[in-house]
Structure 1
Amino acid sequence: MLLKRGVWRNRFLLGLPVAVLPAIVATAIASPSATAAPVDQQVATGSSIGTEGLEPGLALAYTMAQNQAEAEGVDLSITSGYRTPEQQEELWLDGLRTYGSPDVARRWVLPPAESTHVSGKAIDVGPRGGAQWLEVNGNQWGLCRMYENEWWHFELATLPGTACPPLRADASER
């Protein structure tokens, strides 16, 4: 049933990283209760708000997690996803003004060439309760909080159902 629907296959299958696809499909088949609706129906209805510009695997994982959060009554949304290099440059310059030095600014914001937001590989989520829910449950879809100092920043960092990597102190530890 999962691959029977051409919509799912055509919209997402070809854009997913090869290493992530089998795990997402296996997780969806093995644990259909992990999502609010059957996966083929859930993905066919479209992506969550804020997933534009994200890598397809991250967009799919977040959409599935957000649907489950909603089914459990948890408010979860993307507050910042893909950023253009120009948007990231503005944030970087603001960080330099705010923190006074590149070394300190890098704890909170990275230049465009280093930001996972610019490459579509990161999301910031909110509100805080939703981020806490995602930190506890996100690994079901491969989503992990990355930095101790940023409760809101998540990336597709593990295979679905496996443990997340240890938190880094901040973004300067890339």
Structure 2
Amino acid sequence: MTCSEPARTTTGRLPGGLVTTTRRIRRTLAAGPRVVIAAVVKALGYRLVRVQYHGTLGEADGAVPRGTTVFDDEVPAVANLDPALLGALREAAKDAANDGVEFFVNSGWRSPEYQNRLRREAVSRYGSEKEAARWVATPGTSPHVSGNAVDIGPSEAKAWLSEHGARYGLCQIYRNEPWHYELRPEAVEHGCPPMYPDPSHDPRMRQ
């Protein structure tokens, strides 16, 4: 928890103020830890700036701020991508810009912890590990965790890469994920390989 300097100085008789404050805090105990924290901070006369709970996953784990592009080196999800993949993406993005198309990164590198959370959420959403595997890999097999995959948007960028990506070695890997691109250098000369129907058909996901 991070607090600023006191927002105000409390005036009045100290004993009465303490009694009133104590009673208010006791009444909030049953409301849960977050409410209790906020009540205590307010009672002490501090302005609450931000509360960070243990286990929160943010940008450092691969969460991507809205509007992130392939040129945003300060964002870990971009900076931690494989250099060859990132180079190809930037080359493609520059050429796409000439056609009025901008690449935005919806997801890139992810920490194992972040990937594991996405996997758990997918199991909850789709009802089983088998169905979740069609959309989200495990931390041990995900190319996002290794920095070898990126999810690109919006639809104009996906359409541009679908048509031109192979000349940069950028290939859509899964038919059900038109946003997911990986680097296949051989595609520059031979074209992209056939797509898997979904990640569950990818032999890498079975390791």
TM-score scaled by structure 1? 0.70
What does residue 85 of structure 2 align with?
58
1:48 maps to 2:71: yes
Structure 2: which 5+ runs fail to align? 1-69, 203-207
What SS does the aligned partner of 2:115 have?
helix
| Pair 171,101 (structure 1): closer, same or farther in 2 beyond 3 Å | same
Shift of 1:89: 0.5
Residue 144 (1) aligns with residue 167 (2): no
Matching residue's letter, 1:139: A
Provide the residue aligned with 2:28 in structure 1.
none
Partner of 1:74: 101
Please report how far the alpha carbon of residue 77 of structure 1 lies from its aligned counterpart in structure 2 after TM superposition. Answer: 1.6
User: 1:128-167, aligned counterparts within 5 Å?
Assistant: 128-159=155-186, 160-167=188-195
Larger Rg: 2
Aligned residues: 128
Aligned-partner residue type, residue 192 of structure 2:
C
Question: 1:64 & 1:75 partners in 2: Cα distance?
Answer: 12
Of structures 1 and 2, the one with the larger relative CO (CA 8 A, separation 6+) is 1
Partner of 1:116: 143
Query: 1:19-66 CA deviation, whole Å, 9 max, x = no partner?
Result: xxxxxxxxxxxxxxxxxxxxxxxxxxxx62253101110010001011
Change (3 A) 1:60 1:129: same
Equivalent in 96, 102, 116 of residue 129 of structure 2: 102
State the distance in 2 between where 1:118 and 1:59 align.
15
The whole-number CA distance in structure 2 between the counterparts of 1:103 and 1:132 is: 29
Distance in 1, matches of 2:119 and 2:92, equals 29
Q: C-alpha separation between the residues in 1 aligned to 2:185 and 2:87?
A: 14
C-alpha distance in 2, partners of 1:158/1:57? 9
Q: Is the aligned partner of 1:90 residue 2:117?
A: yes
Letter in 2 for 1:147: Y
Cα distance in 2, alignment partners of residues 144 and 170 from structure 1: 14
User: Shift of residue 161 of structure 1?
Assistant: 4.0
Distance in 2 (alpha carbons) for counterparts of 1:137 and 1:97: 36
Structure 2: how far apart are the matches of 1:70 and 1:150? 23
Q: What CA RMSD, in Å, does the superposition of the two structures yield over aligned residues?
A: 1.2
What do the CA deviations read for 1:96-136 (whole angstroms, capped 9, x no partner)? 10011111000000110010000000000000111110111
- Deviating above 2 A after TM superposition, structure 1's stretches of 4 or more consecutive aligned residues are 158-162
5+ residue gaps, structure 1: 1-46
Contact 1:82–1:122 under 8 Å retained in 2: yes
Deviation string 1:69-112 (CA, Å, 9 cap, x unpaired) is: 11211122211100000110110000010011111000000110
Shift of 1:158: 3.5
Q: Which residue matches 1:17?
A: none
Residue of structure 1 equivalent to 2:14:
none
Q: Report the 3-state secondary structure (helix = DSSP H, G, I; strand = E; otherwise coil) of the residue aligned with 1:51.
A: helix
1:169 maps onto 2:192 in alignment = no
* CA pair 119-143 structure 1, distance change in 2 beyond 3 A: same
